[in-house]
Amino acid sequence: MDTGSSKRMVEIAGVSKLFGTVAAVSDATLHVDRGDFLTVVGPSGCGKTTLLRMIAGFEHPDAGEIRIGGRRVDAVPPYRRSIGMVFQKLALFPHMTAAENVAYPLKMRRFAPAKIPGLVDEYLGLVRLGDFKDRRPHELSGGQQQRVAIARALVFSPDLLLLDEPLSALDRKLREDMQLEFRRIQQELGVTTINVTHDQREALVMSDRIVVMEGGVIQQADDPVSLYRQPGTPFVARFIGVTSMFPGRVTKETGEAVTVAAGEATLTARGGGAVLGAGAAVECAIRAEQIAIGPRDGAPRFENAVDGIVRQRIFEGERMVYAVEVPGLGGAVLNVFDHDPVSHSVYDETQPVRLEWAARDLIAFPAGPAPAVTTENKPTGSLTT
Amino acid sequence: MRGSLGKRLVIWGLVWVSLVTLSLPTLIVIGASFTAGEIIRFPPEGFSLRWYGELWQLDSFRAALARTFQVSLICTAVSLPVGTLAAIATVRYRIRFRNAVQVYLLLPFTIPLVVSGLSMMILFGEIRILGQLWPVGVALCIINLPFMIWSVAASVNAIDPEIENAAMNCGAPPLQTFLTVTLPAVMPGVITGGLLMFILAFNEFLVSLFLTDSRTVTLPVQIYNSIRSVITPDLAAVSVLYIAIALIAVVLLDRLVGLEIFLRSK
């Protein structure tokens, strides 16, 4: 199984899956390196779970191939794949104790019976559940059940660990604790991991690499910082982080920078990948934390400036969140974060303000039919779009 | 406050009326069975175990009781695999003709017992098995099978469909998955259904009346025959026996399933 020489643990090439006539996943190609933590993120129905279930072997691809550890697994049933999985609803065996749940994969995979108790103790210790080994799942808290599920998925040293949104049911505090816990265990064991989530924050916090999916199509794959800095499509820009979008038209193109006419404003932007000639319709994206908010009579700080009116102000402690309507941009509402609400002025609703940002922070994407973002998957903290 | 007092009075009143009307006949029969006199009456004359003794002396009664146990065991033994597999298959798997199969399996419940009894008597007569005991067990299994299926189906519906995938992910091939995960998870329903089938068969009268003769008469039919001659307090003693068996079943259910049911609460 272990080819040793290859650093690729998982290779997915041109994989498609149809449900009826709907393509749940189309032509997905990606790879995961040995020991990496990869997160597939996207709104519900984007195909990420189907992709994961094909890797686990519960679904069969209609096209393409999946290799794990260099071996093609299309015809390998799930119980012959060396994959540990933590399920969305955990799927612990209700009639077994924590220790029996963890021992189950060892028994099924024919480990020497003498070795089993030691391994069970070791992995229950790893997830800090040593004292709870004789409890049944219903006698454990949500977080403890998570830990049993993790131990069960890892105890047989699988080639690959799959996480199917196991944290989505937990409350926020516990979820954040468990994110760090997953990461700690994953790094301690060095197990290659594929995580699926709709939570962009979770993806950013936990991953070595992130794959963004939408409508069954992989939009972009990159490390978290690059993905955040250089979103490759308008969807990625909207889905990761809090980003405001507005339409415009290119009037001049000078190398990296483009001049964009948007409403009554003339702005300088950087092209988002594609070559943009003069006259091209574009969608402009600006992140909330890149916008500086100030009085209209202040000295200019950045290349781009528009005037607006505060429509909403939300104080979140470490930052102030504004929704600012900009009549000069066709009435677009821009989300603005002010990360220093202690020393900066505070602007109230209906107050006129000036928004400014650097040319390099405004990204111009070629305009196309924009895929709709469903409301439940709007980035957290977003006020309006 | 007064409104709430009135409400409490009404509710407790209803509770007590229900409790009394439900349990009074049972209590009267229990009392009557301990009479020392010659006829069934309440309150009993004196106290004795005389009628229990007489009952035990009756060969016809002992033989009928033994046959009833046998019939009930056959019925339960047949219904356990059949009902369990049918429930899992029709609830869980997207098998072909699923609805049709479901309706077909529940059909016996909609047919009057007289019709079932008569048609089975004719059928068993034609294939020359009438007069034996085991066909009675099978017949009782057929007419009561919907209860078994319902009971198991409730358990199947309660389990997370992903646990079978989880078992396979742990390395268990399909048969192992079924034996070590699916079956234990539906066990509460299987136990409940099994006990229910046993009790139902133990009590069944109408179909048994069609299918038994003097050599294979079962206890409910035997009781019916004796009512037609003379009503003596030994009938009260038989009734108490029935109550005792029902109680044992309830206790068993509580011991085996009562705890199990809590297992599936998250």
Residue A192 burial by Cβ neighbours in a 10 Å radius (0-12, 13-18, 19+): buried
Residues A165 and A104 in one domain: yes
Same domain, A196 and A323: no
Determine contact, residues A89/B160, Cβ cutoff 8 Å.
yes
A173 near B CB under 8 A: no
Q: Give the distance, in angstroms, between the CA of residue A112 and the centroid of all CA atoms in the same chain.
A: 40
At B87, list the tokens: 């429930």
Is A373 part of a structural domain of the chain? no
Q: Is there a single domain that holds both residue A136 and residue A251?
A: no
For residues A55 and A121, state if they share a domain: yes
Residue B175 sits at the chain A interface (C-beta within 8 Å)? no
In CATH, what number is assigned to the domain containing residue A297?
2.40.50.140
Q: Which of 217-276 (A) contact B at CB < 8 A? A: none
Q: Is A83's Cβ below 8 Å from some Cβ in B?
A: yes
Question: What DSSP assignment string belongs to chain B?
Answer: -HHHHHHHHHHHHHHHHHHHHHHHHHHHHHHHHT--SSS--SS-SS--SHHHHHHHH-HHHHHHHHHHHHHHHHHHHHHHHHHHHHHHHHHHS--TTHHHHHHHHHHHHHS-HHHHHHHHHHHHHHTT-TT-SHHHHHHHHHHHHHHHHHHHHHHHHHS-THHHHHHHHTT--HHHHIIIIIHHHHHHHHHHHHHHHHHHHHH--HHHHHH--TTT--HHHHHHHHHHS---THHHHHHHHHHHHHHHHHHHHIIIIIHHHHHH--
Q: Does B93 touch chain A (CB under 8 A)?
A: no
Q: In chain A, where does DSSP find H-type helix?
A: 48-56, 98-108, 116-126, 142-154, 172-189, 200-206, 224-229, 234-239
Chain B contact present for A132, CB below 8 A: no
Nearest CA in chain B to A145: B266
Nearest CB among B165, B170, B262 relative to A152 is that of B170
Q: Average pLDDT, stretch A306-316?
A: 94
Is A376 inside a domain boundary? Answer: no
CATH number of the domain at A53, please: 3.40.50.300
For residue B203, what are its two tokens?
Answer: 């009590």
In this prediction, residue B140 carries a pLDDT of 94
User: For the segment A114-157, what is each residue's pLDDT rounded down to a tens digit?
Assistant: 999 999 999 999 888 889 999 999 899 988 999 999 999 999 99
Give me A240's structure tokens.
């990761």
pLDDT given for residue A370 in this prediction? 44
For residues A170 and A268, membership in a common domain is answered with: no
More confident residue, A195 or A384: A195
Cβ–Cβ below 8 Å for B162 and A104: no
Domain that holds residue A361: 244-368
Give A278's pLDDT tier (boundaries 50, 70, 90): confident
Which pLDDT value is given to residue B234?
Answer: 82
Task: Say if the Cβ atoms of B171 and A105 lie within 8 Å.
Answer: yes
Q: Is A94 on the interface with B (CB under 8 A)?
A: yes
- The answer to the question of residue A253 being in a domain is yes
Same domain, A300 and A203: no
> Which residue ranges in chain B fall short of pLDDT 50?
262-266
Of A87, A108, A138, the CB nearest to B266: A138
Asked if residue A317 and residue A293 are part of one domain, the reply reads yes
To probe the interface with B, which of A95, A110, A111, A119 has the most B CB atoms within 10 Å?
A95
User: Taking the domains of chain B in order of start, what are their residue ranges?
Assistant: 50-264
Lowest mean pLDDT among A124-128, A160-164, A187-191, A379-383: A379-383
Neighbouring-strand partners of residue A160: A83, A192
Domain count, chain A: 2
Which of B94, B164, B170 has the most A C-beta neighbours within 10 Å, making it the best mutation to test the interface with A?
A: B170
pLDDT band at A2 (very low <50, low <70, confident <90, very high): very low
A204-229 tens-digit pLDDT? 988 999 999 999 999 999 999 999 99
Q: Is the reported ipTM for this assembly greater than 0.90?
A: no
A216 and A258 assigned to the same domain:
no
Average pLDDT, integer, range A94-106 = 94
- Of the candidates A204, A229, A254, which is a domain's last residue? A229
A380 found inside a domain: no
Closest Cβ–Cβ partner in A89, A95, A108 for B162: A89
- The answer on A224 and A255 residing in a single domain is no
Contacts by B23-29, CB closer than 8 A, 24 or more apart = B26/B243, B29/B236, B29/B239, B29/B240, B29/B243
CB-CB under 8 Å, A89 with B265: no
Report CB contact under 8 Å: B163, A56.
Answer: no
Question: What does the pLDDT look like over A21-80, one tens digit per residue?
Answer: 889 999 999 999 999 999 999 998 899 999 999 999 999 999 999 999 999 998 899 999
Is A179 in the same domain as A218? yes
Residue A236 domain-assigned (yes or no): no
Q: Looking at the domain that runs over B50-264, which CATH code has it been given?
A: 1.10.3720.10
Same domain, A208 and A290: no
- Pair (A216, A248) in one structural domain: no
Mean pLDDT of A283-290: 94
Of B168, B264, B266, the CB nearest to A78: B168
Of A57, A91, A94, the CB nearest to B264: A94
Supply the pLDDT for residue A369. Answer: 53
What is the predicted pLDDT for the residue at B38?
81
Going by pLDDT thresholds of 50, 70 and 90, the confidence category of residue A377 is very low
pLDDT at B263: 46
Q: Say yes or no to pLDDT of A87 above 60.
A: yes
What is the pLDDT, as a whole number, of residue A95? 87
Looking at chain A, which residue has its C-alpha nearest residue B182?
A93
- Domain membership flag for residue A343: yes
Compute the nearest-CA separation of B178 from chain A (Å). 12
